[in-house]
Structure 1
Amino acid sequence: MEAANCSLRVNRELLDPKFESYKLSLDPLPCYGVDLDAAVAEVKLRDDQYTLDHMQAYGMYNYLHSNPWCSDSVFYVDQLGRIMNLAVTLDSALGKPIEVFRFPSDLSAYDRRVCSSMHFTSTNWVTLSDGTGTLYLVHIAKADHPAGKWDLRFNQELGDPFIVLHSILFVQEGVQIIDVLLLNVEKDDLDVQGSGFHVSLEWISLALPNQDECKCEILKRRKLHGKSVPHYAAIEPDGNGLMIISYKPFKFIGNEQNQAEEESMEQDEKKDHLYVWQQTADDVTLTIALPDGTTKDDIKIHFAPSHITVSLKEQKPFLKGPLYSVIDHESSTWVLKDERRVEVTLAKKNIGSMWTEVVIGDKQGEFIADPAQCAAIAEQLMHLTSEDLNPDPDVDKPPCNPQELEECDVSLEDCATLCRFDGSRLKATHVVNLGSNQFLFSLVVTPELMPCFSLRHDVDALLWQPRSAPDDNLWEHVSTFNALGYVQASKRDKKFFTCAPNSSYAALCECVRRIFIYRQPTPVDTLLYNRKEGRRVGQVAKQQVASLETNHTILGFQASNDRLFVLTTKKLFVIRVNNGS
């Protein structure tokens, strides 16, 4: 079964087409700092970790972690192998970070480890990695207190070093199960033309012990391979699926039955096509083979402006889905020929546009190019080729329009995809081609749901909440940061990007010192007018800049509704952004 091609449905009510700009505000931002007793356990990239994947996975890692169930509480791992916690109740009276857990082994003894990582699975469980290849499950005795006692309940060596991306807790047939998603960059000896590495995602299911059992048990281990580090990867709350945003696709491996099915499907596709199609500037023509003896009354074809359905009487549609482009459905026709084939003509709404496929995502058709059309195209492109090397570079030189594309808008990840994988069939069920919708950041808004992710749409930054919906409405547009997609693209030195869980502000930090805060528009008390249009301005969006008193590299960045937390090698800063309710 092919994965369904989907699209993200933007909520127009959350967009502001009249948004002008962010106004720089000089209002002070209270900033407090705490010196760390021991430096953060930063792991530098080794000489053999030279690829872009290594940099994205380990070199740009966020060493500061937040507990989504406990507001204004952050965690980090120091060089002594301790997990330290800072919980803020009063900004002006910050205490020292306190130790909540210590890894049992000496991490400094491992030469090939990666950065330690953690994820808060639920109110009572934390999933940890020490960076050496060992997975830990820790139970928090007091869920309502960030510094509650942490008890080690499970640890096991799994192989190569990895980092923890995501984890969930759910109940299945009366058994508590923790699913955890791990990432590591592995050496690929078969990749002789690429980087020589591939990215591995391992999806592990563990059963928590009940009263009669004494230890956790690994139930399943599933692996996906890809050629790029995912921007986003999360498991659905019920453990039935997995969602991934990545520049290059991922695929489950190690399942012989699935591989055999895929090979069989590929062979069937190569043997015969359901239809062949051609196109002109005005229309698209499909020729579909039919069983012998088919009559006109047996054929059911429905045209819509952007959709087509083709079926035989009392049978399921064999061609159905969204069209590549809009058609004039009233002018589109079909005719039966020889009682063995039907010819369908789709009248293009946008005359002159060329289609690359008929039904989006459908692989059953074969395109047959018109020789006369190919010759005409070749003649039109003849002026772009020459037997001589650059014979006259000044003749017919086209003018350059720098407004067509700015440098900050160029992205190497313009063809990223959002995929939803089924956990039982180990196949992709839904695919969204993100195109130019650049991935910006992810964060947890509702702890019981999957993390949200932010994408650039035109100039805005839109926040999407994934949901385990029975229909195709898997992603909900929940918030918008006006013009922030464009603004962030100009920050060439940015390192981390995030927003408040309540979407009251977004923030990004550079590699060293500077923090930029972009607030949502708020009403103003004074009377303001737009100089160009003369209309009254009722609300203003503010931009603020904070500069930290440090020259150390920023290693971690987290946001709550009221505060920003910034971690450097030897200091943890707390910036008061909102006064709270």
Structure 2
Amino acid sequence: MAAANCSLRVNRLLLDPKFESYKLSLDPLPCYGVELDNAVAEVKLRDDQYTLDHMRAYGMYNYLHSNPWSSDSVFYVDQLGRVMNINVTLDTALGKPVEVFRLPNDVSSFDGRLCSSMHFTSPDWVSLSDGTGTLYLIHLSKNDQSAAVKWELKFNEELGDPFIILHSILYARDEGQLIDVLLLSIEKDELDVQGSGFHVSLEWISVLCNPNHDKCEISKRRKLHGKSVPHYAAIEPDGNGLTIISYKPFRFIVDEDNQPEEERMEEEEKKEPLYTWQQTAEDVTLAFPLPDGITKEHIKIHFSPDHFSISLRDQEPFLKGQLYSVIDHESSTWILKDERSIEVTLAKRDVGSMWAEVVVGDKQGEFVADPAQCAAIAEQLMHLTSEDLNPNPDTEKPPCNAQELEECDMSLEDSTTLCRFDGITMKATHVVNLGGNQFLFSLVATPEVMPCFSLRHDVDALLWQPVSSKGDHLWEHAATFNALGYVQASKQDKKFFTCAPNFSYAALCECVRRIFIYRQPTPVSTVLYNRKEGRHVGQVAKQQVASLESREPILGFQASNERLFVLTIKKLFVIRVNTEG
């Protein structure tokens, strides 16, 4: 993957090396509940969805969706196929959920369906999936006579296998408006006999809508394949690129047979080699297979101290170029063996030197190791290896063991990477090896740009905002939650993790009942004194815990600047977090 290796630039001004800890606050958190008219359309994993990727993509799916252009407005899909909305203006007067759209088809009996998913593409468009493989694009318009928003279906098309929607954007082109949607599905992979037997598919679809919004059609489809569900995947606002954070790399599918370009190149490289070669300390031996009907008179071979060429029947040489090292051209020879192959022997002038290749830059040959040489090398290295496990790792000089591995010892293939793909060339342009920077969560802070993502840096949780830039500075350090990277690691039952769009607090919830809130440091109204360090404390970061009056599993979790929304199968809880504003 030819791409620029980049790094994330931390803004030191956003770090607090003197941060002490979160102080548990017993201040009450007002919590209100709304009973749902109909249960949430939860889809549980089937027996054939047994991998970790299935669990991460479908089993941990967030069934609650927020409209980033409308504060404190959340949505979910119920078992009747209705998109339901709750818009909170006054906590003490929560209304019943309101139906805003109904899926055209009854999908409850569809075999193999996934959960319904949605994404707010723009203030006027919503992308929606029914979980059966059909994509819906809905235009939102306000009625002049009332404040109600009308959801009008403008596009629906069956795309194939069931999928969930990860991200969508709207942008203008000369030919009209384009809506780009990013879809995820986990597909059976018959060629993966040693792995899980599945691969992850990301499909990037562009839908062209005319200015009147009365006709929409697919203009482009692109696919990527990977071996792990991405932690983060989002399209750039102008549709020129795609950013993915994943444990395993993704590759675009570009040819007609839906085969990755890199795999196709690998297969081409696996074709029969033009020649095979071996070497000793004194010489290099090449063997060229010959087509039928070739005699000694048809062969022309030219030796010089640093060049070599070979051709047949007055044709252009099929191998020529500069040799890896100088040879004794007068002592170099060739013979025809059984009229089926040519054996060329190049006498090394620098006896004892080992060649890495024959002709500089040529990849048509295959090196064949001499078994006797391999055995001799193995015997020389025997004292450096052992087939036995380390019986005593606490000795003064123990052999290397897995506990001593550091970040630099790990393969890039097995570490999380942040990768930016170009939407035109379909190739990776920037790659950041995240190493030990654990991915924590993502959120939409500013709806006009890409979602933020949070990574653990040492003990802190840092928020990164993708920005539009032509250089390597594509991700900007936007905020820091002190020590939250360390704190969240102790929450073994955590399910969802997020923060307020204005970064005033972060919150995570467990699978059932409990929600933890971590506020940014704020000035204290009373004077506090740190006896240990002998100084006054001007700011305190508070931690709060809320417990829901429900034992049902939490299915959805969203945060606004003032409220937390928690969804269970038959109830929506609203927790008032900030009372200012």
Conservation of the 8 A alpha-carbon contact between 2:143 and 2:150: no
Distance in 2 (CA, whole Å) between partners of 1:73 and 1:390 is: 58
Instruction: Give a deviation string over 1:368-393, Cα, whole Å, max 9, x none.
Output: xxxxxx99x969956x665xx88889
Q: How does 1:538-577 map to 2 (within 5 A)?
A: 538-577=538-577
Q: Which amino acid aligns with 1:542?
A: K
Deviation at 1:580, TM superposition (A): 3.0
The answer to whether residue 95 in structure 2 is matched with residue 95 in structure 1 is yes
> By how many angstroms is 1:107 displaced?
1.5
Give how far 1:60 is off: 0.2
Note the C-alpha offset of 1:528: 1.3
- Distance (whole Å) between structure 1 residues aligned to residue 75 and residue 6 of structure 2: 38
Q: Report deviation, 1:565.
A: 0.1
* TM alignment of 1:125-204, pairs within 5 A: 125-142=125-142, 147-204=148-205
Change (3 A) 1:532 1:216: same
C-alpha separation in 2, matches of 1:249 and 1:143: 46
Aligned to 1:580: 580
Partner of 1:121, secondary structure, is strand
Distance 1:146 1:572 in 2: 24
Shift of 1:468: 2.0
Structure 1 length-normalised TM: 0.75
Structure 1: 5+ residue stretches without partners: 272-291, 293-373, 406-411
TM-superposed CA distance for 1:438, in Å, is: 0.3
Q: Is the 8 A contact 1:21 1:483 kept in 2?
A: yes
Give the Cα–Cα distance (whole angstroms) in 1 for the partners of residues 488 and 461 of structure 2: 9
Q: 1:93 to 1:163 in 2, by over 3 A?
A: same
Q: CA distance change for structure 1 residues 195 and 261 in 2, over 3 Å: closer, same or farther?
A: closer
* Structure-2 separation of matches of 1:183 and 1:66: 20
Instruction: Give the root-mean-square deviation of aligned CA atoms.
Output: 3.2
Q: Secondary structure at the match of 1:149?
A: strand
1:495 is displaced (CA, Å) by 0.1
Give distance in 1, aligned partners of 2:37 and 2:473.
48
Check 1:414–1:525 CA distance in 2 against 1; reply closer, same or farther (3 A cut): farther
In the aligned structure 1, how far is the partner of 2:156 from the partner of 2:65? 21
Q: CA deviation at 1:173?
A: 1.2
1:235 equivalent in alignment to 2:235: yes
Q: Are the structure 2 counterparts of residues 413 and 489 from structure 1 closer, same or farther at C-alpha, using a change threshold of 3 Å? A: farther
Residue 491 of structure 1 corresponds to: 491
Partners of 1:553 and 1:568 within 8 A in 2: yes
Q: Write out aligned runs for 1:12-161 (5 A).
A: 12-142=12-142, 147-161=148-162
Assess, with a 3 A threshold, how the Cα gap between structure 1 residues 393 and 517 changes in structure 2: closer, same or farther.
closer
Tell me which residue corresponds to 1:469: 469
- For residue 214 of structure 1, report the CA deviation from its aligned partner: 4.0
Query: Residues 224 and 252 of structure 2 are in contact (CA less than 8 Å); yes or no, is this contact kept in structure 1?
Result: yes
Q: Which amino acid aligns with 1:472?
A: D
- CA deviations 1:102-161 (Å, max 9, x no partner) are 001112121210000000000000000000000000011129999511011110000000
Give yes or no for contact 1:414–1:438 (8 Å, CA) kept in 2: no
Q: Which amino acid aligns with 1:259?
A: E
CA drift of 1:209 comes to 2.4
- List per-residue Cα deviations over 1:9-43 (Å, max 9, x = no partner): 00000000000000000000000000000000000
Asked if structure 2 preserves the Cα contact closer than 8 Å seen for 1:506 and 1:519, the reply is yes
1:133–1:498 CA distance, 2 compared to 1 (3 A): same
**What amino acid maps onto 2:204 in structure 1?**
W
Do the aligned residues in 2 keep the contact of 1:100 with 1:147 (CA within 8 Å)? no
Distance in 1 (alpha carbons) for counterparts of 2:55 and 2:260: 32
Where in structure 2 are the equivalents of 1:123-522 lying within 5 Å? 123-142=123-142, 147-211=148-212, 214-255=214-255, 259=261, 263=265, 415-522=415-522
Confirm or deny: 8 A CA contact 2:249 2:413 kept in the other structure.
Answer: no
Moved over 3 A (4+): 143-147, 264-267, 377-382, 389-398
Q: Is the 8 A contact 2:154 2:214 kept in 1?
A: no
Tell me the CA shift for residue 396 of structure 1.
6.6
Q: Does the Cα contact within 8 Å between 2:416 and 2:433 map onto a contact in 1?
A: yes
Is the radius of gyration larger for structure 1 or structure 2?
Answer: 2
- In 2, Cα distance between equivalents of 1:173 and 1:435: 42
1:194 deviates by 0.6
Structure 1 residues 526 and 162: alpha-carbon distance in aligned structure 2, compared to 1, 3 A threshold: same
Match of 2:526 in 1: 526
Q: TM-score, normalised by structure 2?
A: 0.75
- Distance in 2 between the 1:159 and 1:31 partners? 42
What residue is the counterpart of 1:363 in the other structure?
A: none
Change (3 A) 1:265 1:580: farther
- The answer to whether the Cα contact below 8 Å between 2:175 and 2:210 also exists between their aligned partners in 1 is no
Give the letter for the 1:157 counterpart: E
- Kindly state the Cα deviation for residue 536 of structure 1 after the two structures are TM-superposed: 1.2
Measured at CA, do residues 9 and 46 of structure 1 come closer, stay the same or move farther in structure 2, by a change above 3 Å? Answer: same
Distance in 2 separating the partners of 1:414 and 1:95:
49
The 3 A distance-change label for structure 1 pair 261 and 424 is farther
Residue in 1 that maps onto 2:360: none
CA deviations over 1:40-82 (Å, ceiling 9, x no partner): 0000000000011110110000000000000000000000000
Aligned partner of 2:341 in structure 1 is none
Q: Identity of aligned pairs, percent?
A: 77
User: Which whole-Å CA distance do the structure 2 matches of 1:414 and 1:466 have between them?
Assistant: 24
Tell me the number of residue pairs that the alignment of Structure 1 and Structure 2 aligns: 468
Matched residue SS, 1:55 = helix
Conserved? CA contact 1:225–1:251, under 8 Å: yes
Residue deviations 1:339-375 (CA, integer Å, cap 9, x gap): xxxxxxxxxxxxxxxxxxxxxxxxxxxxxxxxxxx99
Given that 1:114 and 1:161 are in contact with CA atoms closer than 8 Å, whether structure 2 keeps it comes out as yes
Q: Is the 8 A contact 1:452 1:466 kept in 2?
A: yes
Instruction: Report the Cα distance in structure 1 between the residues aligned to 2:50 and 2:516, rounded to whole angstroms.
Output: 30
CA distance in 2, matches of 1:560, 1:419: 29
Amino acid at match of 2:178: I
Structure 1 Cα separation of the partners of residues 243 and 458 of structure 2: 23
2-structure distance, mates of 1:455, 1:511: 22
CA distance in 1, matches of 2:38, 2:87: 18
CA gap 1:394/1:202 in 2 versus in 1, 3 angstroms: closer
